[in-house]
């Protein structure tokens, strides 16, 4: 079974295989989630077997919606699939579009709906090792410092979000650095 995602071809939204979308750099729909606990954000290190950007640190989770899948439903699905996280309330934060080289001859040209969720202190997390090699909670201030010191350790989209969209994603926490 192929993994079809919504992409635009000649201005028409069309289901296209995920790998083809990235090889051709087609503009496509995506979802990103940031889970916060107070001043900290949950980030993940992508598994070594991922088809692009393996081993790099990213936001809590991200994915592509299935055809006709609402973005919020997609975000909740991916939290459950990648991290075993359930029961969070999502808040839409921003819709952004970006284009970035993600290596291996692939390009992300995403129209992303970004969601934020506040986690309880006792949040249960059970990551799928095929998706996630490590997790950590980090303050936004420390994350910004690490990205500034070693940007190559972080996914292009996380760097874009932090540089261009930090205030809309993190709200009151964005100015605490």
Position 11 scores a pLDDT of: 87
What are the domain boundaries of the chain?
4-168
Q: Determine which one of 82, 108, 110, 113 is catalytic.
A: 110
pLDDT of amino acid 171: 83
Which stretches of the chain score pLDDT less than 50? 1, 176-177
CB of 59 closer than 8 Å to CB of 35: no
pTM: 0.92
8 A C-beta contact, residue 60 and residue 43: yes
The three-state secondary structure class of 70 is: coil
The reply to whether 62 belongs to the active site is yes
Of the candidate CATH numbers 3.90.79.10, 3.40.50.720, 3.90.180.10, 3.10.20.30, the domain formed by 4-168 belongs to 3.90.79.10
Cα–Cα distance between 61 and 66 in angstroms, integer?
A: 16
pLDDT in tens, 88-112: 999 999 899 999 999 999 999 999 9
Among the listed residues 62, 74, 108, 113, the single catalytic one is 62
The predicted structure's pLDDT at residue 177: 44
Question: What is the reported pLDDT for 117?
Answer: 97
pLDDT tens by residue, 122-142: 999 999 999 999 999 999 999
| Distance, CA of 4 to CA of 66 (rounded, Å) | 7
- pLDDT for 172 equals 60
Contact call for residues 29 and 38 (beta carbons, < 8 A): no
Exposed, middle or buried by CB within 10 Å (0-12, 13-18, 19+), for 94?
A: middle
Residue 65's pLDDT is what?
Answer: 95
Q: Can you give the three-state secondary structure of 145-176, one letter per residue?
A: HHHHHCHHHECHHHHHHHHHCHHHHHHHHCCC
110 annotated active-site: yes
DSSP letter at 132 equals: E
Can you give the pLDDT at residue 2? 55
Beta carbons of 99 and 175 less than 8 angstroms apart: no
Cα 61 to Cα 75: distance, rounded to the nearest angstrom: 8
């Amino acid at each position: 079974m192929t993994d079809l995602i919504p992409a635009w071809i000649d201005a028409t939204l069309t289901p296209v295989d995920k790998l083809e979308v990235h090889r051709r750099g087609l503009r496509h729909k995506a979802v990103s989630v940031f889970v916060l606990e107070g001043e900290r954000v949950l980030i993940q290190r992508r598994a070594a077997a991922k088809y692009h950007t393996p081993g790099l640190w990213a936001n809590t989770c991200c994915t592509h919606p299935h055809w006709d899948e609402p973005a919020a439903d997609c975000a909740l699905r991916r939290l459950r699939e990648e991290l075993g996280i359930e029961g969070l309330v999502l808040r839409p934060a921003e819709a952004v579009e970006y284009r970035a080289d993600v290596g291996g001859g692939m390009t992300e040209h995403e129209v992303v709906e970004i969601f934020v969720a506040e986690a309880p202190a006792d949040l249960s997390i059970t990551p799928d090792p095929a998706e996630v090699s490590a997790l950590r909670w980090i303050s936004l201030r420390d994350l910004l410092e690490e990205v500034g010191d070693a940007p190559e350790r972080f996914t292009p989209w996380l760097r874009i979000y932090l540089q261009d969209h930090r205030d809309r994603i993190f709200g009151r926490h964005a100015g605490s650095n």
